[in-house]
Amino acid sequence: MNRKLKKRIIIGFALIATLLISLWYLNVFDSKNPLNANTEKVQLDLIINPIEGYSLINDSVLFNDFLKSEPNITEVLTNNYRRVNDQDTTPFQIWRSFFKQEYVKETDKEISMVFPNYKSQSLDIIEAYKRLKYHFPNKKYPKKIIFANTNFGGNVILEHDVILVGIERYIGGNKNVIQNSLPPDEFPQWLKTGFEKKFLLRDLLMSTLISNNTIPKSKHDYLISEMVKWGKICVLTEMAMRLENNDIKPEIVLRWNESQYNWAKKHEKAFWNYLKKNNLMFSTNEKNHAFILNNGPYTIGFSEEGPDRMGQYIGWKMVRNYVFDEDLSLSEMIKLDYKKFYDKYNP
């Protein structure tokens, strides 16, 4: 081999190596993840505003300004703060009486400790909604998100283009004020266990996906079609929560703890067989749907040792597996009938 040819071969190999390294650096060889999103050019108009009740009741002018700017939210909060047989008549009086109560003071103290500021939450929320908008740019998204003590009135309350977040329901279910101040008949232990900060973003996103009808209505009323609908909602929620395209723990998406998720994985096939054996798959009975899909201490009809909403879990697995197997875009996925997922699912 002459010297010129040898030199050309060496240069050729060097160029190929450089090209391969460049392609690797640019992630060209990485498999495309349909749950990824690029939000650099996504524009989102969203205001995030925490409301401190104590500040408002100490300044009647500030309170009246808030009353005028957010009449719907003020009405919701006033109704939640109102006490039976109380002499208070105006919203301002009702608010002042509410924030004088000891359990409310303790609750607000815990809120300030768990959420000393809302900077990190705000950044994550905006990025997550941008991820949703990347895949579904024509859907309706909230214009404002307000954090406030709602007197345990609800996790996420939607009022037109505004979302009210009951921030007290995210301070931790083990806190004394949660365990000792709430009536157990209204707030059973399984419900209080879910009062965790890690579920805040998940609850916001899922409520938006439900309210703006991102998932088209199914032509069928079968349990299996409802399971697939919830599976689609869970997959989109997971996608939005994968900030910077990093994986999110599935138990967060499913609103469980790790042991509940592991139990569901272990008993996935048994639950699927339970649905088939009891002819529940194509049931149109709303009570059956509620037992399998709704929140509760466990999935009614199945094992009391397991978590609630096993139907949502199966739906999530069905949809997620299909999306990756078929390399399907999320905008394509939401349009597919339940049969596509049902026919291919194999627990």
Q: What's the pLDDT band for 86 if we cut at 50, 70, 90?
A: confident
Q: How confident is the model at residue 94 (pLDDT cuts 50, 70, 90)?
A: very high
End-to-end CA distance of the chain: 60
Q: Which of 43-47, 86-90, 214-218, 226-230 is the least confident region?
A: 86-90
DSSP state of 302: S
How far is it, in rounded angstroms, from Cα 205 to Cα 148? 18
With a cut of 80, say whether residue 27 has pLDDT above it. no
Q: What is the pLDDT of residue 160?
A: 84
Residue 347 has pLDDT above 50, yes or no: yes
The predicted-structure confidence for 235-277, as pLDDT tens digits, reads as follows 999 999 999 999 999 999 999 999 999 999 999 999 999 999 9
Q: pLDDT at residue 5 above 60?
A: no
For residues 164 and 150, the answer to whether their CB atoms sit within 8 Å is yes
Tokens for 163, please give them. 């979302």
pLDDT digits (tens, 9 = 90+) for 280-308: 999 999 999 999 999 999 999 999 999 99
Which residue is it, tokens 């939450």? 121
pLDDT in tens, 166-215: 999 999 999 999 999 999 999 999 999 999 999 999 999 999 999 999 99
Domain definitions of the chain by residue range: 1-30, 47-211, 223-344
Give me the long-range contacts of 8-17 (CB less than 8 A, separation at least 24). Answer: none
Residues 314 and 292: beta-carbon distance below 8 Å: no
